Amino acid sequence: MHLRKRVLVTGGSGFLGSHLCERLLQEDCEVICVDNFFTSSKQNIEHLLPNPRFEVIRHDITFPLYVEVDEIYNLACPASPIHYQFDPVQTIKTCVHGAINMLGLAKRLRIPIFQASTSEVYGDPEVHPQPESYWGNVNPIGYRSCYDEGKRCAESLFFAYQRQHGLAVKVGRIFNTYGPRMHPNDGRVVSNFIMQAIQGKPITVYGDGSQTRAFCYVDDLIELMIRFMRNDHNFCGPLNMGNPNDFTILELAQKIIKLTGSRSHISFEPLPNDDPSQRKPDIAIAYSKYKWEPQTQLNEGLLQTLNYFNKFI
């Protein structure tokens, strides 16, 4: 009989997963990190390997997994457009088959399970900011649909298991998150801009840069994830997880140029397909239920991220 909480984190060597594994180890949990290393890096968890309470399993969750644990955090899935559009069929399989396999495991063990959903379920929203009650405006056959609809289907599965089998599920809709251990070439706006700025390359802004995004620092997001999972088991979500302070993409580019002291100029390019014009969470539920709001200011978080990216130059 083990006394420590044993936690399974799928996608555990990814950007968010590695930070979650680290935090759970700090809380004296035993952590099983599962990853197929398709888009993630072993370097993200290298510093955790000497810890005797940390275990790594190379596994693709589109196939069943048999382990004995007390909690599951299902974070496995490519999360940037470059990565999830590279193999859209595999992205859908990871979202759907992966969810079915992890829910099956949680059902067998009768344990709580968290699903890392996404703000992409809102598509190009016609409501701003986006509350959890908004059903979204998604193109079901567009280039982004493998991820958007994959995650929407996963949410449906989680709630179906909750209603049909009484499973303790938690569904969190994660908005733009940034920080150390982001993939330098994942095509996301923060990593793109920082890498372009520190290399002195033109900073690529799509459209006129007036589209807005809200950026949450990774430590703040992990804090909410833990609070959500550990409290109020009657509330399954969905729960918006992100920073409600939004900026235009042009403002972000200018801020990063200033922080890096870069001589990069801004290069305006055509907007990609189905790129949302605005995206920011309504976090009223996160605040009222968990007394959570982001603590890290954008400048502070960008400096931490910049320090991490400097080692790639």
d(CA 98, CA 55): 20
Give pLDDT, residue 274: 64
What's residue 311's pLDDT? 82
Mind listing the domains of the chain with CATH numbers?
Answer: 6-181+215-244+280-295 (3.40.50.720)
Q: Which residues of the chain have pLDDT under 50?
A: none
Cβ pair 9, 75 in contact under 8 A: yes
Whole-model pTM: value is 0.94
pLDDT at 105: 98
Structure tokens at 185: 């070439």
What pLDDT is recorded for position 141? 94
Instruction: Give the residue numbers marked as catalytic.
Output: 147
pLDDT digits (tens, 9 = 90+) for 224-265: 999 999 997 789 999 999 999 999 999 999 999 999 999 999
Closest CA to 312 of 141, 116, 181: 181
Instruction: Give pLDDT, residue 1.
Output: 53
CB 212 within 8 A of CB 280: yes
- Residue 20 half-sphere exposure, CB side, CA atoms within 13 Å? 30
How does pLDDT run across 136-146, given as a tens digit for each residue? Answer: 999 999 888 99
